[in-house]
Amino acid sequence: MSRVGKNPISLPKGVEIQTSGDTITVKGAKGQLSQKLSEGISIEINDGILLVNRSNESKSQRALHGLYRSLLNNMIKGVSEGYVTKQEVVGVGYKASNQGNLLELNLGYSHNIFLEVPKEISVKTESEKGKNPLIILEGNDKQLIGQVAAKIRSMRKPEPYKGKGVKFLGEQLRRKAGKSASKK
């Protein structure tokens, strides 16, 4: 048995689940998400608890069982509570600003980087004197937020010597000691 797949998912108030064929649509206060189920995976709803079932015990079905349970759990949490990711821009002269969903990054290159964030995600930037600029991504789709955050981070990954770059808030970096002066 899949340890993840057999865990039940409790449905919060205000969340509706509709199935049509092999597509599941989850609606809530923060929006609506849909997911297509693989062949052999089905869902069952009893008294506000959602269970994910599989048709047989093949290796691929066991793997998909846990995957779809996690995807559905993320969808339910997304439409009821939402997801927030915060990133910190570390470095002298590094800046982040936004106008609507257009994010402008100044990361030490000869030009500014403009990134169009998908409309499903709201982006905010915070710049306080004496603190590193923050990029805040909010939305209901965990996968899309993670993908956009990874794209922003790839613009300038944190380097191990000074720690300059775009990192997640609270992320611990492995730091390296620099060159030491030779002793003669």
- Do residue 76 and residue 18 come from a single domain? yes
Query: pLDDT tens-digit profile of 23-75?
Result: 999 999 999 999 999 988 999 999 889 999 999 988 889 889 999 999 999 99
27, 89: one domain: no
Domain hosting 138: range is 83-168
Q: Which residue has the tokens 């340890």?
A: 3
Contact 97, 114 (CB under 8 A): no
Q: 49: which strand partners?
A: 10, 46
Residues 98 and 70 in one domain: no
* Total number of domains constituting the chain: 2
pLDDT, one tens digit per residue, over 34-47 is 999 998 899 999 98
Residue 116 shares a structural domain with residue 153: yes
Q: Does residue 48 sit in the same domain as residue 71?
A: yes
Spatial contact of 60 and 111, defined as CB atoms under 8 Å apart: no
In a domain, 4, yes or no: no
* Same domain as 73, residue 90: no
What CATH number should be reported for the domain holding residue 65?
Answer: 3.90.930.12
Give a yes or no: residue 184 inside a domain.
no
Whether the model pTM is above 0.85: yes
